[in-house]
Structure 1
């Protein structure tokens, strides 16, 4: 079953971190990571958490985002601005659907939130796999951290529980089958090197690569349908 982590990068106000913990707890999540901040240790965070103090107490602290993402299979960055138009932006629901498509190939996923004043930097966004944003009718006033986390927590809480796979081989087999079907649709000849690579190498890639290849194949399949 996929574990979902909420990562807060440089949060400034303890009240916002406490509200974030409360929102997570309301939707059934409890894994919080804090990057470059001690706001979760403040009295303000504790007061605002309202019965969710255990999430603050168990929160993992990291000095930088790279360390917080080191063991994460797939990560989503939240952004309010369209920095880098070449990267696709997913809604909270769309991000949850992306995770659902990956199924049991993902053990740990994360949603990354930036600081209240400036959000995530371009360097932060470059470290995360997929970008997501909340479509707003009016961009101002913007949502606060607790409200944003509640929206994402709700969407991800609606995902059906993934069925545990008995072995990694089943995940690799599913990826191989999906790849072969796509090669057939693209009329790639049997003697092509790409066919041989799929046949020989898919079973040797990492869990993280399995997850990312499923996302890539999904985007290609959607494009072909369009």
Structure 2
């Protein structure tokens, strides 16, 4: 699936720079803008940092209908949601979108509206899906660049969740390593003067449950074993 970011009449160059940077973070390279190229001011390039090429290669359109004409699935984004009063404004979450579109082999266009009043109803009608980021009622409307970041993150995470780039592939602790860790911890508790006798068994039980729930690696288990094994509190 190829993802394209489409901005409708953005007002601030700084937001564009931040959006370009977000796009590069989440492996999205194509930016389409409905509006004038004058929006790419000095502030935009400063905020883009190492994502300036995304701004340089941005495509400009006179209307949203032209910008989405070759998009397979078009997604409108909004902070203004509704129920039965306006069925066109009933959204799904970014996470739902990411899961639903994971197998999409075409182009996914994410459309973001103006900083002040978002997308108009006629803009939403041009799109296939409506998405909104769940936010606090105290301040429900997000900054444009922040909304772009949240949605692109969900799409990116879903696409790489089985192969996270920073996965260190640490070896999980074996059953024997866990048993050794529990044995040495129990011995540590037994000789510890800091733990009252009546609390020692509960400490052992709590630690066993923690180890059972944790995705502890062999390296981590052996490091703890060394600590408990070498501690002499007698």
TM band (smaller chain)? 0.5 to 0.7
Superposition pairs for residues 1-226 of structure 1, below 5 Å? 2-82=1-81, 85-87=86-88, 88-100=90-102, 103-104=103-104, 106-140=105-139, 142-160=141-159
Larger RCO (CA within 8 A; separation ≥ 6)? 1
SS at match of 1:50: helix
Q: Name the TM-score, length of structure 2 as normaliser.
A: 0.63
- Given that 1:76 and 1:131 are in contact with CA atoms closer than 8 Å, whether structure 2 keeps it comes out as yes
Q: In 2, are the aligned partners of 1:9 and 1:112 still within 8 Å (CA)?
A: yes
What TM-score comes out, normalization by structure 1 length? 0.66
Unaligned runs of 5+ in 1: 162-226
Write the distance in 2 (CA, Å) between the matches of 1:139 and 1:67. 36
SS in 1 for 2:74: strand
Give 5+ residue unaligned stretches, structure 2.
161-234
Q: Determine the structure 1 residue equivalent to 2:225.
A: none
Greater Cα radius of gyration, structure 1 or 2: 2
Q: Distance in 2 between matches of 1:82 and 1:156?
A: 21
- The secondary structure found in structure 2 opposite 1:136 is coil
* Closer, same or farther: CA 29–36 of 1 in aligned 2, 3 Å: same
What's the offset of the Cα at 1:86? 1.8
What's the CA shift for 1:85?
Answer: 3.1
Change (3 A) 1:141 1:93: closer
Aligned length: 157
Answer yes or no: is the 8 Å Cα contact 1:11–1:37 preserved in 2: no
User: How far apart in 2 are the matches of 1:67 and 1:139?
Assistant: 36
| 2:16–2:40 CA contact under 8 A, matched in 1 | no
Secondary structure of the 1:159 match is helix
Give the CA deviation at 1:37: 3.1
CA distance in 1, matches of 2:119, 2:42: 25
| Cα contact 1:4–1:110 (8 A) shared by 2 | yes
The answer as to whether partners of 1:40 and 1:46 remain within 8 angstroms in 2 is no
Quote the residue 1:171 is aligned against: none
Q: Deviations over 1:85-118 (max 9, x none)?
A: 3243111111111212xx25x4111100001011
**Counterpart residue number, 2:176:** none
Distance 1:69 1:57 in 2: 20
